[in-house]
Amino acid sequence: MGTEPGKQMGLAIQAVLQMEADCARLFRDLDKALNELRPISNTVTAGAGYTIDAPQLYLPKLLFRRYAASSAEHLVLALNVCLHNHPAPAFIEPILIVGNVEYTPETSDRDESWRPWDPWSAFFDWSSEMPYGRPLAVTPKRSTVTKIVVAAEPLYSITSLEAALRVIDMVGRPGKSATFTSLSAVS
């Protein structure tokens, strides 16, 4: 590899594009594997700039996928691939955060109540700790969220569908119990 900044930037862009393609493939694989749940929407990005004054124009902060339980739409499995938090970095590498979220069933405005970044908020903003590899019950700080359990792993440790399903099993699927026996609530 050359040391010219333009070539290094080109390689970095190619790496990001490959990561995004890998995430899209993971989401499609999960759509099939989580067949008892249904995807809520087809949108998968958040936090990308849309104006010339945006802090980042092209790279979204978050890739997400949300699934609802067929029998209870207020029970949601939410996946967040956190790419960056520019200009104030909260993490040094992309991470996957999975959340088992229970929303208030009577909320009528789903766009407001089912925020795709609720796992991000629970892990980074609502919790006093940010551990990898274990479930974390977090006290919600939004009125439309009644309960949330999250688990996080560095994105590059998710090398297969089975690895992603292990993280999902840490928090449990909507309407089912998680595989762990107890949680300690974090405020």
pLDDT above 70: residue 55:
no
Record the pTM.
0.85
Q: Tell me the average pLDDT of the chain.
A: 84
Residue 186 has a pLDDT of 39
Tell me the residue range of the domain where 141 lies: 5-186
Provide the pLDDT confidence category of residue 115 given band limits of 50, 70 and 90.
confident
Classify residue 162 by burial, with Cβ atoms within 10 Å: 0-12, 13-18, 19+. exposed
DSSP per-residue letters across 98-129: EEEEEE-TT---HHHHS-TTHHHIIIIIS-S-
Total number of domains in the chain = 1
Residue-level pLDDT at 136: 96
Instruction: Count helices and strands (H / E) in the chain.
Output: 4, 8
Residues across the chain: 187
Q: What is the pLDDT of residues 150-181, one digit of tens each?
A: 999 999 999 999 999 999 999 999 976 444 33
Q: What is the largest CA-CA distance in the chain?
A: 58
